[in-house]
Structure 1
Amino acid sequence: MKKLTAALAALCVILFAGNAFAHFGMLIPDTDELTQEKRTVELTLSFSHPFEGQGMVLEKPAAFFMTVDNGDRVDLLSTLKETKVMDFPAWKTAYTAKRPGLLTFVFDPVPYKEDAENNYIRHITKVVVDAYGEGEEWNTPVGLDTEIVPLTRPFGNYAGNVFQGVVLVNGKPAPYTRVEVEFYNKDGKRQAPNDRMVTQEVLCDGQGVFTFACPWKGWWGFAGLNTAEKPYEGRELEMGAVIWVEMK
């Protein structure tokens, strides 16, 4: 009986691992550009499996802010309102741009306890919105503990374009970082032929640079994953540098 119990437990672990999908911090605006006709951007913050449409709980972030033209940070944490994404707690807000510029929105979450992987997950997530067509310095780092600095303009892209970025950890390129890529399958119309196709993976080169071609229109998430030097609450801490980019 003990051998049978152990065998069943091992099988459950294998099956569970085979069906596990990538986690993504998600910061999705309703547009990647603001114009004179649309001056307010609405943003939704969540923590989910974007392709499969499986939500998870996102506690109120430890920080949520924006920069204009990569200048001083504007604290937006108090503007967040509770909502739900994929039937799980999430957050939303809106921001009206008062002048032309490049708006970078960032949230830094409370680390998520993932018992299935015996670790914690901290995905520092950002998205860039171009206000009134004046965004030029889109390849400037924000100065996060880890982040993806785009080498392809992170707005105004066609489906099929290549997206390229460099993963930074503590301000320095992180060579050979594994980058997970996933499509936000919001309407559920896309179907993967098998589980391996849900999350795409690429490796950075020796300079921390990765490249990926996005075949469909919609929002694409890129997560550069590294392990923090120090554990969190006695467990390994996965540090994710996440950026979302829309293909049109």
Structure 2
Amino acid sequence: MPRFLPLLPLALMLAASPVAAHFQELIPSADVLPEGGKVTFDLVFTHPVEGGPVMAMQKPAGFGMVMNGQKTDLMPALREAPVGGTPAWAAETDLAEPGAAVVWVAPQPYWEPAEGKFIVHYAKVVVDSYASGEGWDALAGLPVEIAPLTRPNGLWTGNAFTGVVLKAGAPVPFAEVEVEFVNDGSVVPPNDDFITQVLKADANGTFSYVMPRAGWWGFAALIEGDTPMTSPEGTEVPVEEGALIWVKATDMGGN
């Protein structure tokens, strides 16, 4: 996936902000394969709206797919794909049968000294093979996960995406959800508040967001992990577990 160099105003905004939202990107080459076939994935740990910086991503602890009730280990498909010299990953798989493939990644914990915590963002994306419209609500069984209530394929710009935040399979009341889109550099937020949209789920863990622009949108529900970890300095620190799902919006009359 191409990366852009942030424009000067955007770079100044980033410098003025002590902490920016981290998103584990898991972006496929298409969200729908009308005739099935091969699909590629880019796995990059970054700040999508700012277009960077890209954080070093170790080889994931797990990478797999749930499709038509079958689980597939995709770890052998992973290959190194650095972005600007920073470690990132990519993969390709062949979706030869109709059905929605729920592809997920469980990254290694990332130490963020600026926030004093480890970050583990479990990300997933749904690719619909042969535009089947079936199986898009299957769960990957991740420790924290967003269950879609809106089919995450074939969405127009302006459609609302609705999901439920889950932890160990149970809804998380009032979970905080951050929202960003993969910016190609054409959008310069007027100030920091526009970089990361923030909302809260309701008492049933349900949230909804209208996507105002075509492209890939990431929804990240941030939940504190139950078990702390040890920092490089030897102190006990919290773990931020993120439940992410990536959804594409498409303009009418274009891709």
TM-score by shorter chain over 0.5: yes
TM-aligned CA deviation for residue 97 of structure 1: 1.0
Secondary structure in 1 matching 2:193: helix
Tell me the distance in 1 between the aligned counterparts of 2:172 and 2:55: 28
TM-aligned CA deviation for residue 162 of structure 1: 0.6
Q: Which runs of 5+ in 2 are unaligned?
A: 1-13, 231-235, 251-255
Q: Which residue of 2 aligns with 1:229?
A: 226
Is residue 104–residue 140 contact of structure 2 (8 Å, CA) maintained in 1? no
Give every structure 1 segment of 4 or more consecutive aligned residues whose post-TM-superposition deviation is greater than 6 Å: none
Q: Please say if 1:33 is aligned against 2:35.
A: no
TM-aligned CA deviation for residue 34 of structure 1: 1.2
Tell me the distance in 2 between the aligned counterparts of 1:217 and 1:85: 23
Q: Which runs of 5+ in 1 are unaligned?
A: 1-14
Secondary structure in 2 matching 1:84: coil
Is residue 100–residue 132 contact of structure 2 (8 Å, CA) maintained in 1? yes
Q: Which residue of 2 aligns with 1:213?
A: 210
Q: Which residue of 1 aligns with 2:11?
A: none
Q: Which residue of 2 aligns with 1:42?
A: 40
Tell me the distance in 1 between the aligned counterparts of 2:164 and 2:152: 13
Q: Which residue of 2 aligns with 1:66?
A: 65
TM-aligned CA deviation for residue 86 of structure 1: 5.5
> TM-score by structure 2 length?
0.87
With over 3 angstroms needed to count, the CA separation of the structure-2 counterparts of 1:23 and 1:158, relative to structure 1, is: same
Tell me the distance in 1 between the aligned counterparts of 2:155 and 2:186: 21
Tell me the distance in 2 between the aligned counterparts of 1:226 and 1:16: 26
Give the aligned length: 231
Q: Which residue of 2 aligns with 1:9?
A: none
| Aligned residue identity for 1:141 | L
Secondary structure in 2 matching 1:25: strand
Which protein has the larger Cα radius of gyration, Structure 1 or Structure 2?
1
Q: Which residue of 1 aligns with 2:253?
A: none
Q: Please say if 1:247 is aligned against 2:249.
A: yes
1:157 to 155, 158, 165: 155
| Aligned residue identity for 1:221 | G
Deviations 1:22-64 (A, max 9, x none): 000110001001122x611111111000000111111100000
> Identity across aligned pairs (percent)?
44
Q: Please say if 1:81 is aligned against 2:79.
A: yes
2:125 to 124, 127, 146: 127
Tell me the distance in 2 between the aligned counterparts of 1:49 and 1:87: 16
TM-aligned CA deviation for residue 85 of structure 1: 3.2
